[in-house]
Structure 1
């Protein structure tokens, strides 16, 4: 991958991450405030708003850490990939397990319609495809996250900044006589 293409891929990754972080903060922050106000009133909190805020902030802090050489691009790409895969896995798990009804015995998550949210014995793949139809914003966001994963994995394998950094580190190690072998 040439440097120009890598810059385009990095810009696309940044845009996709910004969309994802903005949505999670937009959805999670006001709900976090509501649940914080209700602490101690016997209402079991929905964990998602707090997790959404933490997730959004983690995504936003990544580019900052890279720009100040706190973490390497490789670490940032791998971390973002893991966070985004985790987000998709958590979304699937949330919907496949009754929208959080499993978290608190005898309690249904808000909006789950009573005794949890069940689709009977519907196949998980069909369940998630159904949620793309009934929750189009969530579905679009998961497509954005999937696209970001593809971009980050591509950058992990082909970004010349990573290759040049690896070459520089190998050069320094060889000058010190460090072969990396134990």
Structure 2
């Protein structure tokens, strides 16, 4: 009599794999939200700047390709891609958004050297985040995404 063979299933069978699945879901959703906001803000400005031949503000030139890159990561994840390099790339893009936001606002909206606000750095960033709900939602998604993708780099093998 033949012994039954184990069948591998894509369904999570342990607490750890269920946790990885939830982390993947959170990471993908956070990346989607951040990408959508950056594309929504950047795409119309990019078109206007390209038509005018202007490079006055570098953000649209950065937001559109990086937003498309994040959507590509989400698409790859939906297609079953489980790759630590992909997770690290998404975490790096989201972290660049966070750092870029801080640098932009601490540098008085585009200056190369921080300064220009009378408040401290944290108060300045919080003031800007609370002034614009879009920025707050984006920052929240970016921070959640950085954490989730960083966790996936360590957990998803």
TM-score normalised over the length of structure 2: 0.80
Matched, 1:46 2:65: no
Greater relative contact order, per chain length (Cα 8 Å cut-off, separation 6+): 2
Aligned length: 141
Other-structure match for 1:14: 28
Other-structure match for 2:138: 141
Other-structure match for 1:33: 47
> Following the alignment from structure 1 to structure 2, what is the Cα–Cα distance between the partners of residues 98 and 54?
24
**Higher Cα Rg, which structure:** 1
- Taking a change above 3 Å as real, the CA distance of residues 35 and 17 of structure 1, as seen in their structure-2 partners, is same
> Following the alignment from structure 2 to structure 1, what is the Cα–Cα distance between the partners of residues 137 and 74?
23
- Taking a change above 3 Å as real, the CA distance of residues 15 and 96 of structure 1, as seen in their structure-2 partners, is same
- Taking a change above 3 Å as real, the CA distance of residues 44 and 155 of structure 1, as seen in their structure-2 partners, is closer
- Taking a change above 3 Å as real, the CA distance of residues 118 and 73 of structure 1, as seen in their structure-2 partners, is same
* DSSP-derived class of the 1:79 partner: helix
Q: In the TM superposition, what whole-angstrom CA distance separates every residue of 1:120-144 from its partner, at most 9, and x where no partner exists? A: 3x21111101112212320221011
**What 5-or-longer segments of structure 2 have no aligned partner?**
1-14
| Contact 2:27–2:149 under 8 Å retained in 1 | yes
RMSD: 2.2
TM-score normalised over the length of structure 1: 0.69
